[in-house]
Structures are given as structure tokens and as C-alpha cells.
């Protein structure tokens, strides 16, 4: 009977490969790898030889049904791997797992290292309740909107991934939103040059900036909001969105800028209607 192993792999230190992970890889007839070159290094390290096919973010939608059909036809056992950590957790793999379930193929998870859990364990934050958001938006406005929505969700601790070239920008954005927020920023977890920064976000951003090698490796960070004072609810505006926009225009504020200023004060639908009405009154020919 065909079978799908979902095999976690080391996040940096290849010696973290467990006997059970190795047994699953050895039992597989075929390995579906996020990047066959990365998985080949792992196989070579432990003197394993297995046929492989790629299964990554750009081909998984088509590759998943093809693999499942082949598993059923040839009675194959397949091991699904990603470059580091667990498939499907901010990595490709969930489409193949879903397709296997839908085809009646048994799925067996083979647990292992996780950057999220490793970062949390080193943070000292109370992680009885936390959320994982992966990579946040790159554009500054969207980034801050996402951070505010996380705060409004009430989650006390959350975990993020970030590239080395944007990590300082992200930590500074966190400091702009919450001056007293505690962060634990981990680089190259389990590797030779592992580095962990912990403290107030603004200080951590300065510390990372001062490291000449900070632009290398991958980053995982935990943010602790559990000690932050509760946000005060913003009282409803005293005037309508339409009157607010008109008053800003009378103050010689550019109309588009006035609309931007109003976004945090009024519901989106109300502001949209007010914007259309004023555009019709003053700007349509």
C-alpha cells in the first residue's frame, strides 16, 4: 500500500537528524524535495541514495496530483521534505499532503527540528499561547497594519521569519509600534555561527546593525507583548468622515493626504462613501 512520510529535516546542524527521520528516508521509494540539491547534501552526509523529484512552491499545484497518481499506480512510499524544518510550515508541502489524504493514502508525520519552537525555547517568553505569522509584508504601510492587527488579536507572543537584509527594518518597525516590546531574534539556529539577540526591540535593532555579519543567515524572532499595557479604545469621531475631510481641506491639506489621515479614524465603508461624494462635488468635471 502506498504511503506518504512527512519528514522534518535539520534546520542547520545535520547531526540533528534523528534515527526515525533517517529510517523514514531509507524506507522511501522516492523523495519529494523542496530543493533536490539541498536534500542531496543531507543524503550524502548519511550515505543514502534515493531517487528524488522536486516539489516546491512553484510546481506543487501540478506536482501533487501527479505524485499521488504515481504512488497509487506504482504502490510507492514517498518521503516529503523541505530545505529545513517541517514541510508545510511556512514551506511547501501541504498540497501534496492534502492530495494524499483525499486519495486515501496514509500520511505519517516524522517530527523533528523547528525554528519556531527552537526560538521560543531560547526566548524565556511565556509561550503557553502563541501565534506564528511567517514572513510579514514588505511594504512599510502594510507591515505596520499587520503588526497592529496582531496586537488587536490579543495574542501575547508571536513568532516571525525574516531575511537577513530586512531584519533590522522589521525590528525597528516593531519598536515603532511598541517601544517596550521584548524580542528574541535568532540567527543561524543550530549552526556554527548561531547568534541570539534578546531585549527591547530598539536596542536589539541597534545590536544587529552593529554586527558586520548580520546580513548572513536566516532569522526567526519571537515578540512578547504579554507585559504591554492594554490598548485604549479609540473613541468614535465627533464628526462624520465627510466633514472631517472637508475640514482638512479647509486647512489646506492635500485631499489624498486627508484621506490617509482619516483611515485610522473612520470605518472603511464610511470613508469610501465620503471620499466618493467629495470627489464628485469638487474634482469631477
* Domain assignment of residue 94, yes or no: yes
142-163 burial, b for 16+ CB within 10 Å, e for fewer? ebbeebeebbeeebbbbbbbbe
Say if residue 49 is in the same domain as residue 140: no
pLDDT bin (cut points 50, 70, 90) of residue 232 is low
**Per-residue pLDDT tens over the stretch 99-138:** 999 999 999 999 999 999 999 999 999 999 999 999 999 9
Say if residue 84 is in the same domain as residue 156: no
CATH at residue 178:
3.30.950.10
Say if residue 102 is in the same domain as residue 18: yes
Of the candidates 200, 176, 193, the residue with the CA atom closest to the CA atom of residue 185: 200
**236, pLDDT greater than 70:** no
pLDDT bin (cut points 50, 70, 90) of residue 245 is confident
What is the C-alpha end-to-end distance of the chain, expressed in Å?
A: 71
**233, pLDDT greater than 70:** no
* Domain assignment of residue 31, yes or no: yes
CA distance 206 to 224: 18
pLDDT bin (cut points 50, 70, 90) of residue 231 is low
* Domain assignment of residue 46, yes or no: yes
**Stretch 44-48: mean pLDDT:** 96
Q: Which stretch of DSSP H or E encloses residue 108?
A: strand 107-110
Say if residue 33 is in the same domain as residue 90: yes
129-141 burial, b for 16+ CB within 10 Å, e for fewer? ebebbeebeeeee
pTM score, whole prediction: 0.77
Say if residue 97 is in the same domain as residue 129: no
Say if residue 21 is in the same domain as residue 76: yes
* Domain assignment of residue 104, yes or no: yes
**21, pLDDT greater than 80:** yes
DSSP 50: -
Distance of CA 123 to the CA centre of its chain: 18
pLDDT bin (cut points 50, 70, 90) of residue 237 is low
* Domain assignment of residue 232, yes or no: no
CATH at residue 94:
3.40.1010.10
Total domain count, the chain: 3
Of the candidates 170, 106, 168, the residue with the CA atom closest to the CA atom of residue 133: 170
Say if residue 214 is in the same domain as residue 253: no
Share the mean pLDDT of the chain: 93
Domain region containing 247: 241-282
**Per-residue pLDDT tens over the stretch 127-177:** 999 999 999 999 999 999 999 999 999 999 999 999 999 999 999 999 999
Say if residue 131 is in the same domain as residue 218: yes
Percent of the chain with pLDDT over 90: 76
pLDDT bin (cut points 50, 70, 90) of residue 235 is low
Say if residue 129 is in the same domain as residue 109: no
Say if residue 174 is in the same domain as residue 268: no
Asked which of 83, 113, 143 is the last residue of a domain, the reply is 113
Amino acid at each position: 500500500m502506498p504511503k506518504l512520510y512527512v519528514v522534518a529535516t535539520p534546520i542547520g546542524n545535520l547531526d540533528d537528524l534523528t534515527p526515525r527521520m533517517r529510517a523514514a528516508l531509507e524506507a522511501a521509494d522516492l523523495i519529494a524535495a523542496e530543493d533536490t540539491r539541498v536534500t542531496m547534501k543531507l543524503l550524502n552526509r548519511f550515505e543514502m541514495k534515493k531517487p528524488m523529484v522536486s516539489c516546491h512552491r512553484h510546481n506543487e499545484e501540478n506536482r501533487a496530483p501527479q505524485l499521488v497518481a504515481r504512488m497509487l499506480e506504482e504502490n510507492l512510499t514517498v518521503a516529503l521534505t523541505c530545505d529545513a524544518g517541517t514541510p508545510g510550515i511556512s514551506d511547501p508541502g501541504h498540497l501534496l499532503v492534502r492530495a494524499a489524504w483525499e486519495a486515501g493514502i496514509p500520511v505519517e508525520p516524522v517530527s523533528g527540528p523547528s525554528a519556531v519552537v527552537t526560538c521560543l525555547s531560547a526566548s524565556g517568553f511565556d509561550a503557553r499561547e502563541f501565534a506564528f505569522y511567517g514572513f510579514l509584508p514588505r511594504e512599510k504601510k502594510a507591515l505596520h497594519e499587520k503588526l497592529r492587527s496582531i496586537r488587536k488579536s490579543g495574542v501575547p507572543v508571536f513568532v516571525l521569519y525574516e531575511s537577513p537584509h530586512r531584519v533590522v527594518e522589521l525590528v525597528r518597525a516593531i519598536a515603532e509600534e511598541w517601544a517596550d516590546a521584548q524580542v528574541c531574534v535568532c540567527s543561524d539556529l543550530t549552526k556554527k555561527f548561531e547568534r541570539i539577540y534578546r531585549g527591547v526591540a530598539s536596542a536589539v535593532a541597534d545590536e544587529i546593525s552593529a554586527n558586520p555579519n548580520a546580513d548572513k543567515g536566516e532569522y526567526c524572532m519571537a515578540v512578547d507583548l504579554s507585559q504591554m499595557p492594554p490598548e485604549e479604545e479609540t473613541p468614535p469621531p465627533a464628526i462624520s468622515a465627510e466633514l472631517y475631510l472637508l475640514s482638512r481641506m479647509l486647512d489646506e491639506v492635500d485631499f489624498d493626504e486627508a484621506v490617509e489621515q482619516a483611515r485610522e479614524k473612520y470605518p472603511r465603508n464610511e470613508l469610501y462613501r465620503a471620499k466618493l461624494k467629495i470627489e464628485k462635488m469638487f474634482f469631477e468635471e
